[in-house]
Chain A
Amino acid sequence: MRNTWIMWRKELNSYFVSPIAYFLLTMFAMVSALFFWLYLQDFVEYGMAMQMRGQAVPMNLNEQLIRPLLSTEGVIGLFLIPLITMRLFAEEKRSGTIELLATSPIRDSEVILGKWLAALTMYASMLLVAALNFAFLFKYGNPDWKPLAIGYLGLLLQAGALLAIGTFISSLTKNQIIAGAVTFGICLVLWVIKSVGQFETATWAQVLSYTSVLTHFEESFAKGVLDTKDAVFYVTLTFLALFFTARSMESLRWRS
């Protein structure tokens, strides 16, 4: 446990001494702020239009603003996750520092867990910066905080799974660019296969669409619904990817 914490600190430190952390934070904050502004404008215009027609339609911040914004943030995350994970192992392998870790009295699992937790912390701090948008909603409006908290939990679970996949990919290569590109490709595929289910109703299409990481977020967490089956989906995916990372680290030893 202590070793995991040491690795976590070291990894987090290396994010924040390089420009990558600040780039990620800025990108995520800017893009989510842009969408926040667009959704907010929609929301306000809709409200005014309803008023002019003299209809008293119930307006709901959670349903009409927070939910689409959370979904959008999940998608933005897809694009930035490869940038978070690509260096985790690829860099250690390239520079030979993996030899230091492998010959220190620390278990592979502790190394992997420390690195993955650092990546998750990086992502969480991105969410935190973007949470400033929601702070305004609480100041000028009256949204329910519970669905928002569940939404955030869902985003973290979703990112956890994708970051674990990215960690695995990074452990396969010495080249950061390859690790990043492959992770990005996988994230993209996991995103777009969602739409297969929308055009095709056959079983295979439903199964395929079920494997998309986004469906599990948009259909439950984003609505403020904590569904066990979706949480289990993410946790299972995370465990699987981290397990593969451990096997890949082990194989380093007999392949190299």
Chain B
Amino acid sequence: MFNLERFKHGKVRVLHTLISCDKPLMITVKELTKRYARNTAVDHISFEVGKGQIVGFLGPNGAGKTTTMRMLTCFLPPTSGGATVAGCDVLEQPLEVKKRIGYLPETPPLYPEMETGEYLTFVGKLKGLSGAELRKRVDYVCDRCAVADVKNKLLGRLSKGYRQRVGLAQAIIHNPEVLILDEPTAGLDPKQINETRDLIKSLGGDHTIILSTHILPEVEQTCEQVIIINKGKLVATDSVQNLQNRARGAESVLVEISGRNGSVDFAAVQRRLEQVAGVSRVVAKQSHGSRNSFEIESVKGFVRGDLARAVVESGWDLNELRPAALSLEEVFLQLTGNAQEAAPKESQ
């Protein structure tokens, strides 16, 4: 069966990003796959990221975000498919790729026995910096990531927020073209989360950034582009703007209606509701006894008043009328939900 929804989210969107990319491509991923003995962690993922973009890599826990990122950083080799980062192939030229990326893993890779400044110097040297330039960069990233005040403290004694920021400082020390951040705000308090997001936003433009997260507002606030994956499969790639429009364009309302005396004609109610101006779709949810619930999708506006009037004027009781907000969250759930349904269809 032709799955329009999937078609819309998949191929056309990818085409769309291809066309809108006037900037040079920094990351191209083609049919990237990682298979383990029992499961497939990442399943034929393809996407492209232009220079200077901030891309949110979104998916529920265990969707394959970390695995994909590890393949992009040459930590894991892909089972099949390939990727190029900053013009270098992850399989053919891993050393060249590693020179051009900064990577913050899920847990910041810190040596507890080192001091912050000492650690950043060590990482800087590993990435090929030396001499005056190294000292300049260490001072710069300490400033930029607000860790200058703990420069002489042991990393093992730092709080979670500082550890995360030192991890970020470590990732940008050699001014890499591409930044790959695995859940950069995990474990931070709200104030630190905001600071980190601002920092990431300010890094965009010079750097191409991929950040993974399962927190939606984060994507809304920091990213321009979203890649949604679920169970290792690509569900959607789109700009945040488009996703938000999709979320805001429609409104959905839950209505519960009961008849004055006993049952009402289900079909009649549905017909009446569909006649209300602005309503695009009415879905009958359930009915037990005299109570009937409907989910009504409409264009954004003040449809609720008209709905209530229509119900009451028809002589029914309006028991409940509440908005079922279609946020980015819901778009996300829809998309990841769709993927689950689509998976068995595809195998047929």
Contact = CB atoms under 8 A, between A and B. Distances in A.
Interface residues of B, number: 28
Contacts of B230: none
B81 to A, nearest CB: 15
Interface of B: 70, 73-77, 95-96, 98-99, 101, 103, 105-107, 109-114, 122-123, 125-128, 170
B135 to A, nearest CB: 16
A96 B109 contact: yes
A3 B126 contact: yes
Interface of A: 3, 6, 10, 13-14, 17-18, 95-107, 253-254, 256
Contact of B123 (A99, A104, A253, A256): A104
A129 B170 CA distance: 37
Contacts of A254: 76-77
| Chain B residues touching A, majority SS | loop
A62 to B, nearest CB: 42
Nearest to B102: A103
B98 A105 contact: yes
A99 B76 contact: no
Contact of B127 (A96, A102, A104, A256): A104
**Of residues A3, A13, A96, A99, which shows the largest number of chain B Cβ atoms within 10 Å of its Cβ?**
A99
Contacts, number: 65
Given A6-B126, A100-B103, A105-B128, 13 more contacts: A3-B126, A17-B113, A96-B106, A100-B123, A100-B170, A101-B126, A102-B74, A103-B101, A104-B126, A104-B127, A105-B127, A107-B95, A256-B76
Contacts of B113: 14, 17-18
A103 B103 CA distance: 7
A97 B75 contact: no
**Of residues B76, B110, B114, B125, which shows the largest number of chain A Cβ atoms within 10 Å of its Cβ?**
B125
Contacts of B75: 99, 102-103, 253
A17 B154 CA distance: 11
Contacts of A106: 98, 126
Contacts of B114: 13-14
